[in-house]
Amino acid sequence: MYLEILTPEKKVFQGDVVLATFPGADGSFQIMDNHAPLISLLKEGIVEYKSKEVHETITITGGVVEVLANKVILLADGIAA
């Protein structure tokens, strides 16, 4: 699936991943290939994504994630230092 992570200032990541984990408002959740359509608010916490080459984590200050047709777009309020 394709993941884009965006903040108001810049594009943080774009590329194919096999798994992504998000800090949902009601708890952490994972997205994998062919996930059902979804829109969710995110709280401050760790976003983790894995591809065949990369396993990365970033801490966001909140945001929104949309999942549709194997494309995941994370609109983060900001990236915590």
| pTM greater than the 0.85 cutoff | yes
Q: How confident is the model at residue 48 (pLDDT cuts 50, 70, 90)?
A: very high
pLDDT digits 0-9 by tens, 50-74: 998 889 999 999 999 999 999 999 9
> Is residue 81 over pLDDT 90?
no
In this prediction, residue 53 carries a pLDDT of 87
Average pLDDT, the chain: 96
CB 42 within 8 A of CB 22: yes
In angstroms, the CA 79 to CA 4 distance is: 14
Domains of the chain: 2-76 (2.60.15.10)
For residue 55, what are its two tokens? Answer: 């396993």
CB 17 within 8 A of CB 51: yes
